[in-house]
Amino acid sequence: MVLYPSHTINCRGKLVDLSSPKIMAIVNLSPDSFFHSVDFNQSGQLLSYVENCVQSGAEFIDLGGMSTRPGSKEISIEEEWKRLENPLILVRKTFPNTMISVDTYRSEIVERAFNEGVNLVNDVSGGAFDPNMFRTVAKTGIPYILMHNRAKPDRMQEVTDYEDLISEMYDYFIEKIHLLETEGVKDIMVDPGFGFAKTISQNYTILKNLETFKALGYPLLVGVSRKSMFYKLLDTKPENVLGVTTAMHFKSLEAGASILRVHDVKEAANCIRVYEEWRKA
Q: Which of these is catalytic: 152, 261, 273, 280?
A: 261
Calpha distance 217→197 (Å, rounded) = 24
CA dihedral 78, 130, 176, 192 (to 10 degrees): 40
Calpha distance 157→176 (Å, rounded) = 22
Q: Which of these is catalytic: 150, 214, 226, 227?
A: 227
Verify whether residue 261 is a known catalytic residue: yes
Calpha distance 230→244 (Å, rounded) = 7
Verify whether residue 112 is a known catalytic residue: no
* CB 65 within 8 Å of CB 41: no
Q: DSSP of 115-141, one letter per residue?
A: HTT--EEEETTTT-S-TTHHHHHHHHT
Calpha distance 46→79 (Å, rounded) = 18
Q: List the one residue out of 133, 224, 221, 232 whose CA is nearest residue 176.
A: 133
Calpha distance 237→52 (Å, rounded) = 24
Residue 3 DSSP code:
P
Catalytic residues: 227, 261
